[in-house]
Amino acid sequence: GATRVILTVDENPASDRLVTCWRWYCAVLTGEELEPGTEVLLRLGEEQFTARVERSGEGVLLLSGTDGMDRLLGLRQVRAEIEVP
């Protein structure tokens, strides 16, 4: 079956910074486990994003990133592919 993906956006960047950025999070339900901090290429449908592994275990990879927010917002149910460079 297809890999399930859950996307969310951090809407509360720290208020004590002069420059803030939006960070998105993506939970990928998969059997693959990777070390936290690993950089991966995440493909969602036809789009691809650079992401960092935040947590891994129990069949879930929690990824985060800051690039491509405008492209992420339009995505709905998509198939995920993960590549470790």
pLDDT over 50 at 1, yes or no: no
* End-to-end alpha carbon distance in the chain: 24
Average of per-residue pLDDT values in the chain: 76
Percent of the chain with pLDDT over 90: 24
pTM tops 0.85, yes or no: no
| Residues 56 and 40: beta-carbon distance below 8 Å | no
Bridge-based pairing of strands 24-29 and 60-65 is antiparallel
- The torsion of the CA quartet 14, 38, 50, 10, rounded to 10 degrees, works out to -20
Q: How many CB atoms lie within 10 A of CB 4?
A: 13
List CB contacts of 29: < 8 A, sequence separation 6 or more. Answer: 3, 4, 5, 59, 60
The pLDDT tens digits for 2-26 are 455 555 555 554 444 444 567 888 8
The pLDDT tens digits for 20-42 are 567 888 888 888 889 999 999 98
